[in-house]
Amino acid sequence: MSKNRLLVLVTTMVIVALLAGCAQPAPTATPRPTVAPTKPAAAEPTAEPGGAVMAALRQDGYMGPALTTEPITLRMLKITVSAAEQELYDRWVKEFTDAFPNIKIEEERVPYGDLYQKLQVIIAGGEPPDVIKVDGPWVKAFCYFDAFEPLNDWLAKSYFDDYLPATLEEHSFQGKVYAWPERQSSLFGYYNRDLFVQAGIDPPPETTDPAKGWTWEKYLEAWKKLTIKPAGSEVPEVWGLAPSEFGPGGVGSLYYYEGMFIRGKGDPNAAKDSDEYKTWAAISEDGTDVKGYIDTPQAIEAMQWYQDLFQKEKVSPTAGMPNGFPDGRGATAFATSDRVSRFPAANPKLNMGVTPVGYFSDGVPFTHSGSTTVAVSKNSKHKAEAVALNHWFHTYAHRVEYAQVTGNLPAMISVFAGTGMYDKYPNTLFQAMLSTYAAPRPPGPGYLQYDSAATLAIRDIGLGADPTSTLHEVADEINGYLAQFKK
């Protein structure tokens, strides 16, 4: 692995991490149904070192060798998490080290925004930790630089078969899987029922089928009626669409959110040489070309529509507006699933409904996915033990417990059923969207540069820049960076 090339990657990561905060690459094609695998029976005892822990690892697909009985130390780099989540990991670590008393685990926790600066220092020193936690969309970029250990020879195929389609795509590179998914995320629509009643508008449907939700065109019709200006004022007291709460808020806040508009008039099932497919793919298959992908006629048309929301129709403010939706200053909002509890917590009187995100009438339902994930360093001197530790964190039983305690969306199919939490609306919608129409952000070695440049271009367009020239220019900018990766 080239240390200099990896340093270039990590330096870019710092910029995007600071921009994105803790929000959460190639497309998935035709949606596949989700059928939860049968919950495994209790593990039988094993004569291998590790007893019940090793038996559980074997049952959940660990195929590596027995772990060493010699004293070793595993180093683990993680982000700072909630007290409840940390308690889970502390208990799992204790269970693992009780089963393998010869293994010592040194855990270092850093705030999310500092993680990649820390990685930069560690990589420069040439000794990365054995276990590394990163954002799911970054997996492919790290794999390009040969930083992670592929898992296909360590874990059974049946384990990977349980990954959601978007999760499997996000965690794979050149036909191999490189990481364990911790959780997933996607975007959903939220609306204020009372404001719809006041405007005399029927609200969007509460449906588990995103294709039966509103189109963006229908949303715009409603937003015009929901935007209310006080007498004698040009500034609305209620906006049809609350501004994004990601990053700095307002227009161009985060590609994870607004990138779905650039890709929204595309079609993953169109011919691969068509503008429709390229619009949706957003990058070439080898991850080194965005010209004719991010600036297609369809992408330009979509971003003109996006600009009109702020500059022509004026149904959404260009600046951030903290708590704008729960406070009743925005009639609708698009956000992650955790807002189903956070919005009402911010305003207990909020009469809120949940619905799928919109889609263009000449496109397909679509939203970005995004996960946190854990991988094993390719340079680890204790790969079997590092793989086993990570897999212990991600056994079926522990993934179910993690989802129940944290409320985060599962990244594996069987876990949805196992939690007992996804049999009622809107949780049924959350599962359906992730299982069918969610897709990772564009992959490749330059993902981070892509994400940063595209976010700034979206912001410029939202503030009035010409969509055609802006998208052509950002395509050239991103390609200039990607040129170094062409074979």
Look at residues 211, 213, 236, 203 and name the one whose alpha carbon lies nearest to residue 309: 236
CATH number of 188-369+449-485: 3.40.190.10
Give yes or no for residue 34 having a pLDDT over 60.
no
Q: Which of 10-19, 25-34, 244-253, 346-355 has the highest mean pLDDT?
A: 346-355
- Dist. CA 397–CA 412, nearest whole Å: 12
Peptide bond into 230 cis (omega under 30): no
Task: Express each pLDDT in 134-162 by its tens digit.
Answer: 888 888 888 888 889 999 999 999 999 99
Q: What is the pLDDT of residue 290?
A: 97
Cα-Cα-Cα-Cα torsion 183, 335, 257, 243, nearest 10 degrees, comes to -150
**333-346 mean pLDDT:** 96
Cβ burial of 186 (10 Å; 0-12, 13-18, 19+) is: buried
Q: Which of 37-41, 252-256, 471-475 has the highest mean pLDDT?
A: 471-475
Instruction: Identify the residue whose tokens are 């680890």.
Output: 380
Q: What is the pLDDT of residue 11?
A: 45
Q: What is the CA radius of gyration of the chain?
A: 23
Give yes or no for residue 20 having a pLDDT over 60.
no
Q: In which band, very low, low, confident or very high, does the pLDDT at 112 lie, cut at 50, 70 and 90?
A: confident
Q: What is the pLDDT of residue 309?
A: 98
Q: What is the pLDDT of residue 251?
A: 95
Burial profile 51-84: b = 16 or more Cβ within 10 angstroms, e = fewer? eebbbbbbbbbbebeebeeeebebbbbbbebeee
Give yes or no for residue 287 having a pLDDT over 80.
yes
Give yes or no for residue 47 having a pLDDT over 80.
no
Instruction: Supply the pTM of this predicted model.
Output: 0.89
Three-state SS string over the chain comes to CCHHHHHHHHHHHHHHHHHHCCCCCCCCCCCCCCCCCCCCCCCCCCCCCCHHHHHHHHHCCECCCCCCCCCEEEEEEEECCCHHHHHHHHHHHHHHHHHCCCEEEEEEEECHHHHHHHHHHHHHHCCCCCEEEEEHHHHHHHHHCCCECCCCCCECHHHHHCECHHHHHHCEECCEECCEEEEECCCEEEEEHHHHHHHCCCCCCCCCCHHHCCEHHHHHHHHHHHCECCCCCCCCCEEEECCCCCCCCCCCCCHHHHHHHHHCCCCCCCCCCCHHHHHHHCCCCCCCCCCCCCCCHHHHHHHHHHHHHHHCCCCCCCCCCCCCCCCCCEEEEEECCCHHHHHHHHCCCCCEEEECCCECCCCCCCEECCCEEEEEECCCCCHHHHHHHHHHHCCHHHHHHHHHHHCCECCEHHHHHHHCCCCCCCHHHHHHHHHHCEECCCCCCCHHHHHHHHHHHHHHHHCCCCHHHHHHHHHHHHHHHHHHHCC
Q: What is the pLDDT of residue 36?
A: 43
- Dist. CA 322–CA 342, nearest whole Å: 13
- Dist. CA 53–CA 55, nearest whole Å: 5
Q: CATH 3.40.190.10: which residues of the chain?
A: 26-185+371-439, 188-369+449-485
Q: What is the pLDDT of residue 262?
A: 97
Q: In which band, very low, low, confident or very high, does the pLDDT at 45 lie, cut at 50, 70 and 90?
A: low
- Dist. CA 91–CA 86, nearest whole Å: 9
Sign of CA dihedral 439, 440, 446, 451: positive
Give yes or no for residue 336 having a pLDDT over 80.
yes
Q: What is the pLDDT of residue 138?
A: 82
Q: In which band, very low, low, confident or very high, does the pLDDT at 44 lie, cut at 50, 70 and 90?
A: low
Q: What is the pLDDT of residue 48?
A: 86
Is 282 in contact with 442 (CB distance < 8 Å)? yes
Q: What is the pLDDT of residue 121?
A: 74
Task: Express each pLDDT in 57-88 by its tens digit.
Answer: 999 999 999 999 999 999 999 988 999 999 99
**331-350 mean pLDDT:** 96
Q: What is the pLDDT of residue 29?
A: 30
What distance, in Å, lies between the first and last C-alpha atoms of the chain? Answer: 16
Task: Express each pLDDT in 413-472 by its tens digit.
Answer: 999 999 999 999 999 999 999 999 999 999 888 888 899 999 999 999 999 999 999 999
Q: What is the pLDDT of residue 42?
A: 54
Task: Express each pLDDT in 241-284 by its tens digit.
Answer: 999 999 889 999 999 999 999 999 999 999 999 999 999 999 99
Q: What is the pLDDT of residue 46?
A: 61
Q: What is the pLDDT of residue 248?
A: 86
- Dist. CA 364–CA 302, nearest whole Å: 13
Mean of per-residue pLDDT scores for the chain: 89
Task: Express each pLDDT in 204-234 by its tens digit.
Answer: 999 999 999 999 999 999 999 999 999 888 8
Is 112 in contact with 22 (CB distance < 8 Å)? yes
**392-396 mean pLDDT:** 97
Task: Express each pLDDT in 308-332 by its tens digit.
Answer: 999 999 999 999 999 999 999 999 9
Q: What is the pLDDT of residue 32?
A: 32
**Residue 191's beta-bridge partner residues?**
332, 353
Task: Express each pLDDT in 170-179 by its tens digit.
Answer: 999 999 999 9
Domain 26-185+371-439 -> CATH class = alpha beta
